Amino acid sequence: VPLGDLADTSLSDGPSQISREMGKRRIVVGINVRDRDLGSFVAELQKAVSSQIKLPEAYYLEWGGQFQNMERALGHLKIIIPITIGAIFFLLFMLFNSLRFAALIILVLPFASIGGVVSLFISGEYLSVPASVGFIALWGIAVLNGVVLVSYIRNLRDSGLTQIQAIRQGCAQRFRPVMMTATVALLGLVPFLFATGPGSEVQRPLAIVVIGGLMTSTLLTLIMLPTLYKWFEEKREGFD
C-alpha cells in the first residue's frame, strides 16, 4: 500500500528535540550573566517578564541553574546564621562565665551589620550568598574586637581601678590593637573590592560587606561598647 494513500506527507521545519519533564513539555532558555551579580539580574528579568509576557493557560516559568542553587544556599544560610550566632554566644559564655558579658559582646553584631547593609545599598548589590558569608566573617572580627576590649577592662577592674578609670584606660590602651585588627582585615579585602576578572561576582559582595561593616563596627565598638559596659555594670550594682 503506498504511503500517500494512508497519510499526507510534506517537508517542514520543526524542533530537533522535544524535552519533557514529569510528562510535560519544556523549553530551556539559557543565559550567561557577566559583570553583575546574579540576584539583581534575575530580579530585573522576573519583573520584565511579568510585565511584558502573558503566558497561555497551563504554561508557567521556573528559574533554575545557578539562581536555583543560590536560592537553595540562601535557604541553608537561614538555618546556619542563627546557629552561628548561638555558637558565638555559647563560646562567649564559656570564656567569661557570665551571661551578662556574653550578651554585651553579642550587641556588637548589629553595629557591624549596619555598615554591611548600608554598603550593599550604596553599591547596588543584593543580599547574595557571598554577601551572607561576608556577614558571618564580619561578625567574627567584630566579636574578636569586643572580646579584646571587654577582657582588658575586666582585668583593670580586678586590679582595683574604678569603673570609669578602667573604661578610660582600657579604651586608650586597646585602641591600637582593635584598629590594627580591623585595618589589616580591611586592607586584605581591598583587592577583592576592585576585582573585575572571573570570580569577581563572588569576591566583590563579600568584600563590600566586610569593609563597610568594619568601618562602623570598629568605631561603634570603641564608643558604644564601653557605654554599654558601664550601663550593664550599673544595672548589676543596682540589682545587688
For the chain, the structural domain boundaries read 3-52, 66-239
Q: How far is CA 177 from CA 137, 157, 170, in A?
A: 18, 20, 11
Instruction: For strands 24-26 and 19-21, give the pairing.
Output: antiparallel
Residues contacting residue 228 through CB under 8 Å, at least 6 positions apart: 104, 107
pTM over 0.85: no
Beta bridge partners of 26: 19
Contact 59, 25 (CB under 8 A): no
Contact 206, 123 (CB under 8 A): no
CATH class of the 66-239 domain in this structure: mainly alpha
Amino acid symbol at 27? I
Report H helices in 97-199: 99-106, 108-123, 129-158, 163-193
CA atoms within 13 Å, Cβ hemisphere of 45: 15
Q: What is the pLDDT along the chain (240 residues), one digit of tens a residue?
A: 787 778 888 888 877 788 888 888 888 888 887 767 777 788 888 888 888 888 888 888 888 887 888 788 778 878 888 898 899 899 889 888 888 888 888 888 888 888 888 998 888 877 788 888 889 888 888 888 888 888 888 888 888 888 888 889 988 888 888 888 888 888 888 888 887 777 777 788 889 999 999 888 888 888 888 888 888 777 765 554
